[in-house]
Structures are given as C-alpha cells and as structure tokens.
Amino acid sequence: MKQSDLHDLLIKDFDYYKEGKNAQYIPALSQVDPKQLGIALYNLQANELQTCGIPEKSANVRFAIESISKVPVLLLAINDNGLDGVFSHVDAEPTGFSFNSLLNMQIEQRKYPLNPFVNQGAIVVNSLLKGKNSDERFARILDFMKEIFNDNDITLNEEVYHSESKTGDINRSIAYYMKGNGIWNGDVEDVLDSYFKQCSVNVNAIDLANLGALLANGGVAPWNGKRIVSEESATIVKSLMLTAGLYDESGDFSMRVGVPTKSGVGGGLMSAVPGKYGIGIFSPAIDKPGNSVAGMKLLHDVVQELNIDIFA
Ligand code: DON
C-alpha cells in the first residue's frame, strides 16, 4: 500500500482511542499513553515490511503482549505434545463469555476449558509445556517467542508481571475452580506464575506482524525460510483466532473485518491473512471485551483497502 494512503487511514482512525480506555484492572497498563497508533504490515508476496505510526515511531513502541501470548504458547505446546496431546485437555469452541469468565464452565458443567484463548484454556495450555517449574517453562517461552517474532530483544516487563500477579485473583479463582472440579490437575501457583509472565512480555507491532506472517505462510518464517511450526498447527491456530481470537467480540469482528486475529488487553492485535499478509497493530485503549478500539477500526480499513477479507 502507498505509504501516504496508509498514513491517511491512521489519521482517519486515530481519534477512536477516545471511545476506549486502557485496561484498568492491571495498574501498569492503565498508565500507558493511550494516544498511540502503530501498524506493521508484512507483505508475503513482496517479502516486505511496512510500518506507519502516530506518533511516527509507534510501530516500534514496546507494550505488554497479554493475551496474544496465548498464540505462541499454544504453538509451543503443540510442538511439545502434538495436536492430540493438547486438544485432549482443552476444547476448541467459541465463547459468548468474557475472557476471564468462570460462568461458562459452571453453566455447562464442561469437562475441559472451552478453548485455548480464554484464560481457563490458556492456563491449562501453559501447564502442558515441557519444563518442571515456572522458571523452566518461561525460559522456553521466551526463547520460542524470540524465534517466532524474529526479535532477540524481547524481555519480560517486570512491572506488568508484578501488577498481573498482584491483581490476578480472578485467574486464581479460575485455576482453583478447575482443580477443585477435576477439570485440571496442575500446581496452581506455579502455573499461574508462568502464565502471568507469558502475558507480561514486551513486544511491538513489528513482532506481531512477523508472527502473523509466519502463520499466514503456513508455519515457515518468511524472513529465513525456516519451518518453526507444522502447517497443520498454523492452520488450526488461524481457525481458532477467527472463532475465538477476540473473545465475546469474535463473531462480530469476523463478520465486519474477516481476518484471523488475536487481541491482547495491552492494545495489540495480530492478524494472519493466509498466503498474503501478517499484520501487527498497537493502540492501548480497549473496549469492554478487551480489544483495541482504534486498532480494530484501522484493521478494518486496511483490510478493505487491500481487499484481503478472507471471505470476500
Ligand atoms: O489473564 C489476564 O487477565 C491478562 N493477563 C490477559 C488478558 C487479555 O489480554 C485478554 N485480552 N484481550
């Protein structure tokens, strides 16, 4: 896309941040400047990365990955255990409930968490990783993230981690509920520690575009031709992103935008358009379900401009 056309779309959508609010339940996220909108587009056909931001360097700004971490951790768990080894512990059903809901399991008396992207499922998936404790699992997560984001500089944001851990009572309830009801049999505090850490890794929009491009490219990193995950896992993860990537806004988003996408409450969006594009977006103000407001508007407009809605 012409750089000036992309910039025009950012100008058009920038002010939508006013309709959202930074995540308030994690104090370290509430303090991030909401007036930022950055995008990175990885064009697979041209093998080219394009960035744009208001302020200019917003695509390089580091922010907490939050729930987008559920994608790399799921991919690593599949690498460790195979597809059956993961999906014998977690279902793959969309949810009309919020990402940290307990109700869905209670109402339906489910045997397994609904899907790997709601917190129940993500906690179980983290516990499936090889590694005997939180430190070992998190060291493997960080190494894997460096590889799939093509970024050796990603680190744990200690402030966000302490914030997550201190205020993580709902996640504790979810984990103890699952344990108490025989849905899962892990070490609650140890697994929550690596879960809070996976959510607190700092990334930027370029990292997210790289992961999107790897998924769009069937699991092969387009920057060096190396296969990182199987074609089957890339396909499965994209379909889960479409049905559950934006929680209880996934259906509406798929209808309006039409590309597999995963969100995080840090304001990130990561999209994979099969065979065509990886897209990373950052804008910290989110709506009630937990998705970046200006980010979703920008994604919608970019998808329209490039004509890459997968259903169109
Ligand atoms: O578990 C939590 O509450 C957060 N650390 C992650 C939630 C999240 O990003 C949901 N996303 N949109």
* Residue 67 is among the residues annotated as catalytic for this protein: yes
Q: Measured between alpha carbons, how far is 258 from 300 in angstroms, rounded to an integer?
A: 8
For position 161, what pLDDT does the model report?
A: 97
pLDDT at 28: 92
Task: Tell me the DSSP string of 79-140.
Answer: HHHHHHHHHTTS-----SS-TT-SHHHHHHT-SS-S-TTSHHHHHHHHHHSSSSSHHHHHHH
4-29 burial string, b = 16+ CB within 10 Å, else e?
A: eebbebbeebbebbeebebbeebebb
Q: Name beta bridge partners: 53.
A: 38
Report CA torsion sign: 89, 138, 163, 249. Answer: negative
Active-site residue flag, 17: no
Q: Is 56 annotated as a binding residue?
A: no
| pLDDT the model gives residue 105 | 82
Give the integer Cα–Cα distance in Å for 82 and 240: 16
Residue 265 annotated as part of some ligand binding site: yes
Find tokens 């407001």 and name the residue: 293
Active site residue 195: yes
Q: Give residue 287's pLDDT.
A: 97
Q: Per DSSP, which regions of the chain are E strands?
A: 37-43, 48-54, 63-64, 202-203, 261-263, 268-273, 277-282
* Cα separation, 178 vs 194, whole angstroms: 17
Q: Going by C-beta distance under 8 Å and a sequence separation of 6 or more, which residues neighbour residue 146?
A: 152, 154
Interatomic CA distance for residues 200 and 229, integer angstroms: 23
Q: Distance from the CA of 162 to the center of ligand 1, in angstroms?
A: 14
Which member of 17, 42, 195, 277 is catalytic?
Answer: 195
Q: Which tens digit of pLDDT belongs to each residue from 11-56?
A: 999 999 999 999 998 999 999 999 999 999 999 999 999 999 999 9
Query: What number does the ligand 1 atom closest to the CA of 246 have?
Result: 12
247 catalytic per annotation: yes
The preferred substitution site among 22, 71, 265 for testing ligand 1, maximizing ligand atoms within 8 Å of CB, is: 265
Cα of 3 from ligand 1 centre, angstroms: 32
Residues 73, 141: Cα–Cα separation, whole Å: 7
Query: Which residue's alpha carbon is at the smallest distance from atom 8 of ligand 1?
Result: 67
Q: How far is the CA of 35 from the centre of ligand 1 (A)?
A: 21
pLDDT of res. 47: 97
Within 6 A (CB) of ligand 1 lie: 66-67, 99-100, 119, 164, 171, 199, 263-265, 290
What pLDDT is stored for residue 103 in this prediction?
A: 86
Listed as ranges, residues in the chain with pLDDT below 50 are: none
Distance in Å, CA 239 to ligand 1 centroid: 20
Measured in angstroms, how far is the CA atom of residue 30 from the centroid of ligand 1?
13
**Out of 70, 197, 262, 297, which one is annotated catalytic?**
70
**What is the chain's percent helix, strand, coil content, to nearest 5?**
50, 15, 35
State yes or no: is 197 an active-site residue: no
17 annotated to a ligand binding site: no
Total length of the chain: 312
In ligand 1, the atom with minimum distance to the C-alpha of 290 is: 12
Reported as a single tens digit per residue, the pLDDT across 112-138 is 999 999 999 999 999 999 999 999 999
Is this prediction's pTM over 0.95? yes
